[in-house]
Amino acid sequence: MIIDVLTLFPNMYDNFLTESIIKRAIDDKKVKVNIHNIRDYTVYNNKQVDDYPFGGGGGMILMCDPIFRAIDDLKKEDSIVIMMTPSGKVFKQSIAYDLSKNKHLIILCGHYEGFDERIKSIVDLELSIGDYVLTGGELPSMVVMDSVIRLIDGVINENSLMTESFNDGLLDYPNYTKPAEYRGMKVPEVLLSGHHQNIAKYRHEERVRLTKENRPDLLGGNYE
């Protein structure tokens, strides 16, 4: 997979791309991530990419031309263009799975008061990571990339992915490791029993319990 990111703050990605699973996926050539400065596509000598909104209002708006130029330069026949915006569809694990099957993603990060509305005409998917506003789309783009890259074939052990939260509409079960007792808190006996069927039953019941307590919206009327 190739991911091209359009941003006004390319240095924000330095650590993100050089640590942990993301770095390993890049080193293993499972993914290639290119960070592009939107200012490189402006026709203005002063590198201007934003201007005041028609009709008045606070803040500055990202202009059409540099972004259209950038997309024209980067887009291929199989590209998916994603705009990070608070008004987009809320990002979920199912979207991450769908995106992980694509060969080329272009992620557009906004800043200031947002985008000229006409930019949406060249966007395939508008995404938000939640009902709150950040200073720009850089952090949300990292969230999306992290979630998508780890789902690319060969990046993470497939067995690990199968039992993760949201994989089947339930949160993950609680996990424990050594010691078996710590400050009076004991690991559930069933996990020490070696009885795989009972362990599987316990873990499923815990997934249902935790989902009911923390995210009942995920159940959709099931497990009542």
Of 53, 151, 132, nearest to 88 by C-alpha is 132
pLDDT at 224 over 60: no
Helices (H), the chain: 20-27, 64-74, 93-100, 138-149, 158-162, 189-192, 196-214
Whether pTM > 0.75 for this model: the answer is yes
Which pairing describes strands 125-128 and 104-109: parallel, antiparallel, or unpaired? unpaired
pLDDT tens digits, one per residue of 120-173:
999 999 999 999 989 999 999 999 999 999 999 999 987 666 666 677 789 999
What backbone torsions phi and psi does residue 55 show, to the nearest 5 degrees? 90, -5
Q: Which residue segments constitute the domains of the chain, with CATH numbers given?
A: 2-149 (3.40.1280.10), 163-218 (1.10.1270.20)
- pLDDT score, position 57: 83
* Least reliable range by pLDDT among 52-61, 157-166, 190-199, 212-221: 157-166
pLDDT tens digits, one per residue of 47-57:
999 999 999 88
pLDDT tens digits, one per residue of 61-119:
999 999 999 999 999 999 999 999 999 999 999 999 999 999 999 999 988 788 999 99
More confident residue, 46 or 58: 46
Which pLDDT band holds residue 223 (cuts at 50, 70, 90)? low
Residue length of the chain: 224
Residues 182-197 have a mean pLDDT of 96
- pLDDT score, position 166: 73
Residues 31-56 have a mean pLDDT of 95
pLDDT at 221 over 70: no
Residues 194-208 have a mean pLDDT of 95
- pLDDT score, position 162: 64
Question: Could you identify the residue written with the tokens 């990111």?
Answer: 5
